Amino acid sequence: MQIIKAFFIAFSIYSKIPVPQLAWKEEDMKYVLCFFPWVGAVIGFLLYLWGMLCEGCGIERLCYTLIGAVIPLLLTGGFHVDGFMDTMDAFQSYQPREKKLEILKDSHIGAFAVIMLAAYGLIYLGAFSEIRDRALLKIVCAGFCLSRCLSGIGVISFPSAKREGLLFLFADNAHKRIVRIALYVQTGIVIAFMLLTNPYAGALIAASALAALAYYYVRCKRELGGITGDTAGYFVVISEGCMLAAAAIVDILG
Q: For residue range 72-113, list pLDDT tens digits in order.
A: 999 999 888 988 999 998 888 888 888 888 888 877 788 888
pLDDT score, position 159: 87
Residue 217 has pLDDT above 70, yes or no: yes
AA identity, residue 107: S
Task: Give Dmax over CA atoms of the chain in angstroms.
Answer: 53
Residue 175 has pLDDT above 90, yes or no: no
* b/e per residue 56-88 (b: at least 16 CB within 10 A): eeeeeeeebbeebbebbeebbeebbbbbbbbbb
AA identity, residue 244: L
- Span 22-49, mean pLDDT? 85
pLDDT score, position 72: 95
Residues 75 and 26: their CA atoms lie apart, in Å, by 25
Residues 230 and 112: their CA atoms lie apart, in Å, by 15
pLDDT score, position 173: 57
> pLDDT, tens digit, for every residue of 143-154?
999 999 999 999
Residues 254 and 241: their CA atoms lie apart, in Å, by 20
Residue 161 has pLDDT above 90, yes or no: no
Assign 4 a pLDDT band (cuts: 50, 70, 90).
confident
DSSP strands (E only) in 20-123: none
Total-model pTM: 0.92
Q: Where are the domains of the chain?
A: 1-253
pLDDT score, position 177: 82
Q: What number of CA atoms fall less than 13 Å from residue 241's CA on the CB side?
A: 21
- Span 65-75, mean pLDDT? 95
Residue 172 has pLDDT above 90, yes or no: no
Task: Please check whether residue 112 is in contact with residue 92, taking contact to mean a CB–CB distance below 8 angstroms.
Answer: yes
pLDDT score, position 115: 93
Q: Find the angle CA(80)-CA(18)-CA(9) to the nearest 5 degrees.
A: 65
Quickly count: other Cβ atoms within 10 Å of residue 222's Cβ.
9
pLDDT score, position 123: 95
What's phi and psi for 252, nearest 5 deg? -65, -40
For 177, residues 6+ apart whose C-beta sits below 8 A from its C-beta are none
pLDDT score, position 148: 96
pLDDT score, position 1: 64
80 closest CA partner among 246, 194, 232: 232
Distances (CA, A) of 28 to 36, 113, 147: 14, 34, 24
- Tell me the average pLDDT of the chain: 89
pLDDT score, position 79: 83
Task: Please check whether residue 170 is in contact with residue 110, taking contact to mean a CB–CB distance below 8 angstroms.
Answer: no
Residue 41 has pLDDT above 90, yes or no: yes
Task: Please check whether residue 155 is in contact with residue 213, taking contact to mean a CB–CB distance below 8 angstroms.
Answer: no
> pLDDT, tens digit, for every residue of 103-143?
888 777 888 889 999 999 999 999 999 998 899 999 999 99
pLDDT score, position 24: 67
pLDDT score, position 163: 65
Lowest mean pLDDT across 24-33, 57-66, 176-185: 24-33
Residue 165 has pLDDT above 70, yes or no: no
